[in-house]
Amino acid sequence: MKNYFITATDTDSGKTFITDLILAGLKVKGNQVVGFKPISAGCNQTPEGLRNEDALILQAQSNVELDYQVINPIAFEPPIAPHIAASLVDTSLSMSLVDRAFNNIEQCALNQNTDYLFTEGAGGWLLPLNTEQTLADWVASRQIDVIFVVGLKLGCLNHALLTYQAIKAAGVKVKAWVANQVSEESMPYQAENIAHLKSVFDAPCLGVVPFCENDGKTSQQIAGKYLDLSSL
Protein backbone atom coordinates (compact mmCIF):
# COMPACT_ATOMS: atom_id res chain seq x y z
CA MET A 1 0.00 0.00 0.00
CA LYS A 2 1.31 3.44 -0.92
CA ASN A 3 1.08 6.22 1.66
CA TYR A 4 1.10 9.94 0.87
CA PHE A 5 0.67 13.03 3.02
CA ILE A 6 -1.08 16.03 1.49
CA THR A 7 -0.27 19.52 2.71
CA ALA A 8 -0.63 23.00 1.25
CA THR A 9 0.88 26.43 1.16
CA ASP A 10 -1.84 27.75 3.47
CA THR A 11 -5.33 27.22 4.81
CA ASP A 12 -7.95 27.34 2.04
CA SER A 13 -5.47 26.42 -0.68
CA GLY A 14 -7.54 23.40 -1.70
CA LYS A 15 -6.09 20.37 0.12
CA THR A 16 -9.42 18.58 0.38
CA PHE A 17 -10.47 19.47 -3.17
CA ILE A 18 -7.21 18.15 -4.62
CA THR A 19 -7.20 15.06 -2.40
CA ASP A 20 -10.75 14.34 -3.56
CA LEU A 21 -9.63 14.65 -7.19
CA ILE A 22 -6.66 12.35 -6.67
CA LEU A 23 -8.82 9.74 -4.99
CA ALA A 24 -11.33 9.97 -7.84
CA GLY A 25 -8.65 9.75 -10.51
CA LEU A 26 -7.02 6.69 -8.96
CA LYS A 27 -10.39 4.97 -8.51
CA VAL A 28 -11.03 5.25 -12.24
CA LYS A 29 -7.83 3.25 -12.77
CA GLY A 30 -9.23 0.44 -10.62
CA ASN A 31 -7.47 1.23 -7.35
CA GLN A 32 -8.75 0.84 -3.82
CA VAL A 33 -8.24 4.20 -2.10
CA VAL A 34 -8.77 5.74 1.33
CA GLY A 35 -8.64 9.35 2.49
CA PHE A 36 -7.61 10.05 6.10
CA LYS A 37 -8.13 13.30 8.03
CA PRO A 38 -6.49 12.66 11.40
CA ILE A 39 -7.17 16.11 12.85
CA SER A 40 -10.01 18.47 12.04
CA ALA A 41 -11.40 21.69 13.52
CA GLY A 42 -14.55 23.50 12.53
CA CYS A 43 -16.83 20.48 12.94
CA ASN A 44 -20.61 20.36 13.14
CA GLN A 45 -22.53 18.71 15.95
CA THR A 46 -24.72 15.90 14.59
CA PRO A 47 -26.72 13.09 16.23
CA GLU A 48 -23.76 10.82 15.43
CA GLY A 49 -21.23 13.21 16.97
CA LEU A 50 -18.85 15.80 15.53
CA ARG A 51 -18.56 15.73 11.75
CA ASN A 52 -16.12 17.66 9.59
CA GLU A 53 -17.09 18.61 6.02
CA ASP A 54 -13.63 17.87 4.61
CA ALA A 55 -13.47 14.47 6.29
CA LEU A 56 -16.93 13.59 4.96
CA ILE A 57 -15.76 14.43 1.44
CA LEU A 58 -12.79 12.09 1.83
CA GLN A 59 -15.00 9.36 3.27
CA ALA A 60 -17.45 9.68 0.38
CA GLN A 61 -14.71 9.51 -2.26
CA SER A 62 -12.96 6.52 -0.64
CA ASN A 63 -14.04 3.19 -2.07
CA VAL A 64 -12.87 1.28 1.01
CA GLU A 65 -15.63 1.51 3.61
CA LEU A 66 -14.41 2.62 7.01
CA ASP A 67 -16.24 4.15 9.98
CA TYR A 68 -16.09 7.93 10.23
CA GLN A 69 -14.19 7.73 13.53
CA VAL A 70 -11.42 5.82 11.75
CA ILE A 71 -11.17 8.42 8.98
CA ASN A 72 -11.37 11.44 11.30
CA PRO A 73 -10.48 10.32 14.85
CA ILE A 74 -9.52 13.73 16.29
CA ALA A 75 -12.23 16.37 15.82
CA PHE A 76 -13.01 19.74 17.38
CA GLU A 77 -15.98 22.05 16.97
CA PRO A 78 -14.38 25.54 16.92
CA PRO A 79 -12.91 26.59 13.53
CA ILE A 80 -9.56 27.53 15.06
CA ALA A 81 -6.05 26.08 15.29
CA PRO A 82 -6.52 22.47 16.48
CA HIS A 83 -4.07 22.68 19.39
CA ILE A 84 -6.00 25.69 20.74
CA ALA A 85 -9.32 23.93 20.17
CA ALA A 86 -7.94 20.93 22.07
CA SER A 87 -7.00 23.11 25.05
CA LEU A 88 -10.57 24.42 25.24
CA VAL A 89 -11.83 20.90 25.97
CA ASP A 90 -8.97 20.06 28.36
CA THR A 91 -7.17 17.71 26.02
CA SER A 92 -3.91 17.85 24.11
CA LEU A 93 -2.48 16.82 20.78
CA SER A 94 0.73 14.87 20.32
CA MET A 95 2.64 12.85 17.77
CA SER A 96 1.82 9.66 19.69
CA LEU A 97 -1.90 10.42 19.45
CA VAL A 98 -1.64 10.88 15.67
CA ASP A 99 0.51 7.75 15.47
CA ARG A 100 -2.17 5.62 17.12
CA ALA A 101 -4.82 6.97 14.75
CA PHE A 102 -2.62 6.32 11.73
CA ASN A 103 -1.73 2.79 12.84
CA ASN A 104 -5.44 2.07 13.20
CA ILE A 105 -6.47 3.25 9.75
CA GLU A 106 -3.40 1.72 8.14
CA GLN A 107 -4.27 -1.69 9.55
CA CYS A 108 -7.94 -1.31 8.57
CA ALA A 109 -6.89 -0.32 5.05
CA LEU A 110 -4.44 -3.20 4.70
CA ASN A 111 -7.14 -5.62 5.84
CA GLN A 112 -9.22 -4.48 2.86
CA ASN A 113 -6.43 -4.67 0.27
CA THR A 114 -6.16 -0.92 -0.13
CA ASP A 115 -3.76 0.40 -2.79
CA TYR A 116 -3.44 4.02 -1.65
CA LEU A 117 -3.82 5.81 1.68
CA PHE A 118 -3.81 9.62 1.55
CA THR A 119 -3.45 11.53 4.82
CA GLU A 120 -4.65 15.12 4.60
CA GLY A 121 -3.09 17.61 6.99
CA ALA A 122 -4.76 20.58 8.62
CA GLY A 123 -3.74 24.10 7.70
CA GLY A 124 -0.20 24.35 6.35
CA TRP A 125 2.92 22.24 6.75
CA LEU A 126 3.99 23.40 10.23
CA LEU A 127 0.68 22.86 12.01
CA PRO A 128 1.36 22.92 15.78
CA LEU A 129 0.33 19.89 17.80
CA ASN A 130 1.60 21.43 21.01
CA THR A 131 4.36 23.83 22.05
CA GLU A 132 7.08 21.35 21.04
CA GLN A 133 5.70 19.23 18.20
CA THR A 134 4.17 19.90 14.79
CA LEU A 135 2.29 17.66 12.41
CA ALA A 136 5.34 17.99 10.14
CA ASP A 137 7.41 16.29 12.86
CA TRP A 138 5.02 13.36 12.75
CA VAL A 139 5.24 13.09 8.95
CA ALA A 140 9.03 13.15 9.18
CA SER A 141 9.00 10.45 11.87
CA ARG A 142 6.96 8.18 9.57
CA GLN A 143 8.90 9.18 6.43
CA ILE A 144 5.71 9.59 4.38
CA ASP A 145 6.21 11.12 0.95
CA VAL A 146 4.48 14.49 0.57
CA ILE A 147 2.25 15.94 -2.13
CA PHE A 148 1.69 19.63 -1.64
CA VAL A 149 -0.92 21.98 -3.03
CA VAL A 150 0.00 25.49 -4.13
CA GLY A 151 -2.98 27.83 -3.86
CA LEU A 152 -2.58 30.18 -6.82
CA LYS A 153 -2.84 33.72 -5.48
CA LEU A 154 -0.63 36.73 -5.00
CA GLY A 155 2.20 35.72 -2.67
CA CYS A 156 2.08 32.04 -3.57
CA LEU A 157 5.70 31.96 -4.79
CA ASN A 158 6.97 32.83 -1.33
CA HIS A 159 4.56 30.44 0.39
CA ALA A 160 5.35 27.62 -2.04
CA LEU A 161 9.12 28.01 -1.80
CA LEU A 162 9.05 28.22 2.00
CA THR A 163 6.84 25.13 2.19
CA TYR A 164 9.04 23.21 -0.24
CA GLN A 165 12.21 24.13 1.64
CA ALA A 166 10.67 23.23 5.00
CA ILE A 167 9.56 19.80 3.75
CA LYS A 168 13.01 19.08 2.33
CA ALA A 169 14.72 20.35 5.49
CA ALA A 170 12.63 17.89 7.52
CA GLY A 171 14.19 15.06 5.52
CA VAL A 172 10.94 14.16 3.78
CA LYS A 173 10.58 13.47 0.07
CA VAL A 174 8.39 15.78 -2.00
CA LYS A 175 6.69 13.29 -4.28
CA ALA A 176 4.73 15.83 -6.33
CA TRP A 177 2.83 19.09 -6.22
CA VAL A 178 -0.38 20.54 -7.66
CA ALA A 179 -1.18 24.10 -8.68
CA ASN A 180 -4.74 24.97 -7.71
CA GLN A 181 -6.56 28.13 -8.79
CA VAL A 182 -8.44 29.20 -5.68
CA SER A 183 -10.62 31.97 -7.10
CA GLU A 184 -12.64 32.52 -10.27
CA GLU A 185 -10.27 35.19 -11.54
CA SER A 186 -6.76 33.91 -12.17
CA MET A 187 -3.86 35.63 -10.43
CA PRO A 188 -1.76 38.13 -12.43
CA TYR A 189 0.87 36.34 -14.55
CA GLN A 190 -0.37 32.98 -13.34
CA ALA A 191 1.38 31.01 -16.09
CA GLU A 192 4.69 32.71 -15.32
CA ASN A 193 4.35 31.92 -11.61
CA ILE A 194 3.66 28.26 -12.36
CA ALA A 195 6.58 28.11 -14.80
CA HIS A 196 8.92 29.45 -12.12
CA LEU A 197 7.83 26.82 -9.61
CA LYS A 198 8.24 24.06 -12.20
CA SER A 199 11.78 25.28 -12.83
CA VAL A 200 12.86 25.16 -9.17
CA PHE A 201 11.04 22.10 -7.79
CA ASP A 202 12.65 18.68 -8.31
CA ALA A 203 9.26 16.97 -8.13
CA PRO A 204 6.66 16.61 -10.88
CA CYS A 205 3.61 18.84 -11.13
CA LEU A 206 0.57 16.57 -11.21
CA GLY A 207 -1.42 19.32 -12.88
CA VAL A 208 -2.79 22.83 -12.89
CA VAL A 209 -6.41 22.79 -11.76
CA PRO A 210 -8.57 25.79 -12.68
CA PHE A 211 -11.31 27.21 -10.49
CA CYS A 212 -14.06 24.58 -10.86
CA GLU A 213 -16.79 25.67 -8.45
CA ASN A 214 -20.32 25.20 -9.81
CA ASP A 215 -19.17 24.05 -13.25
CA GLY A 216 -21.18 20.82 -13.05
CA LYS A 217 -18.22 18.49 -13.63
CA THR A 218 -17.67 15.46 -11.42
CA SER A 219 -14.44 14.87 -9.53
CA GLN A 220 -13.63 12.06 -11.95
CA GLN A 221 -14.07 14.37 -14.93
CA ILE A 222 -11.93 17.14 -13.42
CA ALA A 223 -9.20 14.70 -12.41
CA GLY A 224 -9.19 13.07 -15.82
CA LYS A 225 -8.85 16.43 -17.58
CA TYR A 226 -6.33 18.23 -15.37
CA LEU A 227 -4.29 15.68 -13.38
CA ASP A 228 -1.61 13.23 -14.46
CA LEU A 229 -1.35 10.66 -11.69
CA SER A 230 1.04 8.30 -13.45
CA SER A 231 3.90 9.20 -11.09
CA LEU A 232 2.03 8.10 -7.96
pLDDT confidence of residue 173 = 98
Within a domain: 162: yes
What is the rounded (10 degree) CA torsion for 220, 223, 229, 232?
-70
Q: Which residues of 97-116 are buried (b: 16+ CB within 10 A; e: fewer)?
A: bbeebbeebbebbeeeebbb
d(CA 211, CA 157): 19
Name the H helices within the chain: 15-28, 53-61, 68-71, 82-88, 95-111, 135-142, 156-169, 190-200, 219-226
How confident is the model over 166-201, as pLDDT tens digits?
Answer: 999 999 999 999 999 999 999 999 999 999 999 999
- What's the average model confidence in pLDDT over 45-61? 97
Instruction: Say if 231 falls within a structural domain.
Output: no
Mean pLDDT for the stretch of residues 26-50: 97
pLDDT on residue 115: 98
Per-residue pLDDT band for 205 (boundaries 50, 70, 90) equals very high
Assigned domain for 232 exists:
no
- pLDDT of residue 135 exceeding 90, the answer is yes
The set of catalytic residues is: 37
Q: Is residue 70 part of a domain?
A: yes
pTM of the model: 0.97
Domain with 201 in it: 2-226
Instruction: Name the helix (H) or strand (E) containing 45.
Output: strand 44-46
Q: What is the pLDDT of residues 69-111, one digit of tens each?
A: 999 999 999 999 999 999 999 999 999 999 999 999 999 999 9
Across 10-32, average pLDDT: 96
Contact 120, 4 (CB under 8 A): no
What is the per-residue pLDDT for 158? 96
Query: Does residue 121 carry a pLDDT above 80?
Result: yes
Has residue 218 been placed in a domain? yes
The pLDDT value given to residue 213 = 75
Crossing angle between the packed helical segments 15-28 and 219-226, to the nearest 10 degrees: 90
Count of structural domains within the chain: 1
| Rounded Cα–Cα distance for residues 49 and 17 (Å) | 24
Q: What is the pLDDT of residue 215?
A: 80
Task: pLDDT band for 216, please (50, 70, 90 cuts).
Answer: confident
Task: Give dist(CA 36, CA 117) in Å, integer.
Answer: 7
The answer on pLDDT for 214 being more than 80 is no
Q: How far is CA 58 from CA 17, 70, 86, 148, 153, in A?
A: 9, 12, 23, 17, 25
Cα–Cα distance, 41 to 55 (Å, whole number): 10
**CATH at residue 38:** 3.40.50.300
Indicate the SS3 state at residue 185.
coil
